[in-house]
Chain A
Amino acid sequence: MPRQLYFDTPDAFLEELRAQLNAGIPRRRLRARLPFHLHEAEELLIGRPSRLRYFALGGGLAGFGGGFLLAMLTSVDWPIVTGGKPIVSVPPFLLIGYLLTILIGSLSCFAGFLWLSRLPDPGPLVSDDPFDPRFVLTINDEEAS
């Protein structure tokens, strides 16, 4: 049977977590639920940074390239001189690239977050599993983990 321990304060929770790890319980047997993010818990239980940064980088680059290319290729597609400016007017096209860097970067980060944290999760909705206001440390059995 998995054991569940409840704590009201982050300090008590972290103290217990450290004690469990020091007692030789492997990380994979420990599960945590928190009312707010604790970086220490992340370091103790996972210890590597989130992969979300690749989504930020990928989305940002795709947005920049896509925005610039959109402006450039549509101008080349029907080359008409307006305001005496060159057909490929780099400064204003960079602006479109810049704005789409932010837009696509943010949206891809959000999508990446949903993917990495397995949301939306219908499980808690069906089983009526609420967001606990306390710090919960679950210690799984060897075979269950």
Chain B
Amino acid sequence: MNNDISAPQVETDVLTAMRRPGPAWLTGLGLAGLLFAGGLALWAYQIMHGMGVAGITHPVGWGVYITDFVFWVGIAHSGTLISAVLFIFRARFRTSFNRAAEAMTIFALMVAGLFPLIHLGRVWRFYYLFPYPNQRQLWVNFRSPLIWDVFAVSTYFLVSLVFFYVGLMPDLAIAARHRSGRAGKLYRILSLGWTGNLRQWRHYGRLYMFLAAFATPLVASVHSIVSWDFAVSIIPGWHTTIFAPYFVAGAIFSGTAMVLTLVIPMRRVLNLQEHIPIDHIEAIAKILLLTSLIVGFSYVIEHGMAFYGENLFEMEQFRFRALGHYSLLFWIMIMCNAVLPLLLFIRRLRRSLAFLFVLSLLVNVGMWLERFVIVVCSLARDFDPYNWGNYLPSPVECGITLGSFGLFFAAFLVFVKTLPVLSITELKER
């Protein structure tokens, strides 16, 4: 542990990182902003011309948009794992990542929440999803997994937002002390007048613990509920009982990879090497390895059960995934998610930042493909051969997907320059 860094040093190091954006940051923000603007323009185009401009059609009615939704909700998960679950287990390496991971959770959920709306077509009717007393005297169908999703994702977003803000409060007051003028005033107002008296700390400590306790079950439940969007149906390849744990492990796996994708460059660009020691990055790499093993095991179980079960449709579905039209994507997925992460058993690679960064990108590619394979393959080959058909994403769908990455990275870049990227208070405590 780096107990040798003094408290004033922690403050200056973390707050210096927020100063003067350099050319790299500006270029990054420009690129991400362009991607986002492109995605928005394509969405506007889709709204004007209708859903026909997207590649989804009979029989594959769920395509890239639903893939993106599942992917982004999954990314959000490791943020909560790091901030809430590791807090309850008192894992000390958590302080190196929790703030960035919590921010990542918020941004990923913002992006994820857009996709059901994009997929909806008539986006101006989105409020039909919420139960409210209306003229038609209709209520939502609480037996539908799609409504469970609405409740799960909005609960997850609001709880994560409160958790993120509560963690920030003392740090905002510290930032206010270091800044003069309007920025300082704004930070002071956002800190709600925090002075750190014992009364505040005492309730704060309890609040943080309660929020962690409330958020912990969400790590397991939100992606379980997302998986039931599929598992509750009767389509071959979707209708399986392992879906909930399989999706949760995948979510933590992809989210952990995204934490590494974001934190490794951030640590270097913002000169935070002393505060995010390599030992802590190795701990995250171990979580990545563990979840990769669970995901790999799920692949084996999924295919094994299909062939052991002797259900003709299930068997054909899993044969199709491995050897059919989308087999290339399937094998890239296996490589990225189940094979390459095994290299993390080698300690030297677990501690190599370059290797971890490249691996984290590959895992994200693999996890996106996993969702694509699950969503699309099952719909492309269901029970009746008359009902079969392949799907190719349209340029509009691809553009909107790229736009979602633009929004996510732009939001993260703005975050690193406006808020303390490490929890100053917790680093001092450490």
A124 with B166: CB separation less than 8 A:
no
B138 with A131: CB separation less than 8 A:
no
Chain B at the A interface: SS class: helix
- The verdict on A22 contacting chain B, using a C-beta distance below 8 Å, is no
The smallest beta-carbon distance between A35 and chain B, in angstroms, is 6
A56 with B155: CB separation less than 8 A:
no
The smallest beta-carbon distance between B425 and chain A, in angstroms, is 5
Which residues on the A side are within 8 Å of B176 (C-beta)? 130-131
A42 with B198: CB separation less than 8 A:
yes
Of listed A93, A98, A102, residue having the most chain B CB within 10 A: A102
The smallest beta-carbon distance between A36 and chain B, in angstroms, is 5
A110 to B7, CA, bound (A): 28
Which residues on the B side are within 8 Å of A31 (C-beta)? 197-198
A residues 74-124 with Cβ under 8 Å of B?
74-75, 77-78, 82-83, 85, 89, 92-93, 95-96, 98-100, 102-103, 105-107, 109-110, 112-114, 116-124
A56 with B143: CB separation less than 8 A:
no
Least CB separation from A124: chain B residue: B193
Number of A-B contacts (CB under 8 A): 177
A35 to B429, CA, bound (A): 9
- The verdict on B320 contacting chain A, using a C-beta distance below 8 Å, is no
A75 with B142: CB separation less than 8 A:
yes
The smallest beta-carbon distance between A12 and chain B, in angstroms, is 13
Least CB separation from A53: chain B residue: B206
B8 with A102: CB separation less than 8 A:
no
- Neighbour of B195 across the interface among A53, A78, A95, A131, CB < 8 A: A131
Chain A at the B interface: SS class: helix
B residues 208-261 with Cβ under 8 Å of A?
210-211, 214-215, 217-218, 221, 225
B residues 265-309 with Cβ under 8 Å of A?
none
A45 with B207: CB separation less than 8 A:
no
B170 with A131: CB separation less than 8 A:
yes
A131 with B217: CB separation less than 8 A:
no
A102 with B155: CB separation less than 8 A:
yes
B215 with A106: CB separation less than 8 A:
yes
Which residues on the A side are within 8 Å of B166 (C-beta)? 110, 113
Tell whether A130 pairs with B197 under 8 Å between CB atoms, given A89-B143, A109-B211: no
A74 with B193: CB separation less than 8 A:
no
A82 to B141, CA, bound (A): 8
The smallest beta-carbon distance between B353 and chain A, in angstroms, is 30
A113 with B195: CB separation less than 8 A:
no
The smallest beta-carbon distance between A78 and chain B, in angstroms, is 6
A96 with B199: CB separation less than 8 A:
no
The smallest beta-carbon distance between B291 and chain A, in angstroms, is 23
The smallest beta-carbon distance between B213 and chain A, in angstroms, is 8
The 3 closest A-B pairs by CB, nearest first: A131-B173, A121-B193, A74-B139
List chain A positions with a Cβ less than 8 A from chain B: 8, 31-39, 41-42, 45-46, 49-50, 52-53, 56, 60, 67, 70-71, 74-75, 77-78, 82-83, 85, 89, 92-93, 95-96, 98-100, 102-103, 105-107, 109-110, 112-114, 116-125, 129-133
